[in-house]
């Protein structure tokens, strides 16, 4: 599919390389050299994808993601970073990025990740269109997940989720009390991408707990099954079924 893509990268040679590969696949590409210009492009045009460098002048990539998500903008974000430590990489996901790559990277791998994000975003947009087939609202206690509208509510209150968080929560909500391994949840996020770490899932789970758990450090809904993975359950169920 052809898409409108913004590249935010202050390294001219790096930006030109990425631009050429994207245009070769038929995409319309806009290149900017700093974080504030990236924000202006997203606010003004709602592109299909933002390819975002971390280290940039005026506003770095992490600040850009933080601001976009705070504004409720769900444009998919692929972060490019020269930082190689796991904590640095996962910080971008924690703020709401959808994927990341470390420099130097393979252009072929970059294009594969771009295609994955664009396909995923297209399915999300189509699911939220008026003509979409209603996939059915998933309810677990007071928590509801609406795949057709890409919405999550808790007791009627909207719960903002990044695309990655939503995919994990929807998978868990579709089969309450089933234990999902990290590998299975990774497949929900990235297909069978061998480059993605299981820690990515852990970060999304941690962020979801901040949003749906009354006490995130003592989760009652989104539970860890040690040595296996995660499951979603209704904590009130055990209270209702407890012997008197």
Average pLDDT, the chain: 81
Size (the chain), residues = 244
Segment among 58-62, 92-96, 103-107 with least mean pLDDT: 92-96
Joined tokens for residue 165:
């968080």
Number of Cβ within a 10 Å radius of residue 205: 21
Nearest to 102, CA basis, from 87, 86, 117, 80: 80
pLDDT digits (tens, 9 = 90+) for 143-189: 999 887 788 999 889 998 877 788 889 889 988 999 998 888 877 77
Sign of the C-alpha dihedral computed for residues 44, 49, 53 and 54 taken in this order: positive
**Domain residue spans of the chain:** 4-127, 138-241
Query: What pLDDT was estimated at residue 129?
Result: 40
DSSP at 221: S
Q: Are strands 77-81 and 99-102 parallel, antiparallel or unpaired?
A: parallel
59 confidence band (pLDDT: 50, 70, 90): confident
Give the DSSP H/E element, type plus range, for residue 157: strand 157-158
Cross-strand bridge partners of residue 30: 6
For residue 5, pLDDT over 60 is answered with yes
Q: Which CATH number fits domain 4-127: 2.40.340.10, 3.90.1150.10, 3.40.50.2300, 3.30.565.10?
A: 3.40.50.2300
209, 149 Cβ separation under 8 angstroms: no
End-to-end CA distance of the chain: 59
List Cα–Cα distances, 110 to 34, 98, 113, 164, 185, in angstroms.
21, 13, 5, 18, 22
**The residue to which tokens 């990277």 are assigned:** 105
User: Taking every pair of C-alpha atoms in the chain, what is the biggest distance, in angstroms?
Assistant: 70
Long-range contacts of 137-142 (CB under 8 A, 24+ apart): 138/170, 138/173, 138/174, 140/173, 140/176, 140/221, 140/232, 140/233, 140/234, 141/221, 141/234, 141/235, 141/236, 141/237
Report CA Rg, the chain: 19
Its CATH class, for the domain covering 138-241, is mainly alpha
Query: What pLDDT was estimated at residue 86?
Result: 60
């Amino acid at each position: 599919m052809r898409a409108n893509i913004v590249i935010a990268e202050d390294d001219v040679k790096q930006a030109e390389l990425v631009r050429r590969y994207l245009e070769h696949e038929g995409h319309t590409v806009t290149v900017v050299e700093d974080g504030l210009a990236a924000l202006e492009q997203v606010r003004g045009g709602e592109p299909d994808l933002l390819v975002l460098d971390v280290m940039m002048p005026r506003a770095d990539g992490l600040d850009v993601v933080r601001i976009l998500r705070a504004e409720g903008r769900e444009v998919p974000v692929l972060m490019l970073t020269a930082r190689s430590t796991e904590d640095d990489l996962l910080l971008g996901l924690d703020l709401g990025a959808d994927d990341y790559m470390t420099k130097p990277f393979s252009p072929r791998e970059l294009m594969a990740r771009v295609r994955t994000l664009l396909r995923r975003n297209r399915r999300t947009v189509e699911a939220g269109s008026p003509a979409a087939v209603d996939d059915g609202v998933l309810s677990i206690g007071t928590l509801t997940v609406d795949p057709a509208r890409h919405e999550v509510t808790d007791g009627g209150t909207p719960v903002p989720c990044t695309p990655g968080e939503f995919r994990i929560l929807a998978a868990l909500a579709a089969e309450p009390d089933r234990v999902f391994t990290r590998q299975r949840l990774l497949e929900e996020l990235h297909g069978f991408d061998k480059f993605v770490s299981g820690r990515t899932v852990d970060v999304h789970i941690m962020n979801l707990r901040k949003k749906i758990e009354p006490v995130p450090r003592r989760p009652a809904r989104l539970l860890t099954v040690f040595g296996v993975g995660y499951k979603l359950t209704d904590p009130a169920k055990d209270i209702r079924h407890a012997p008197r």
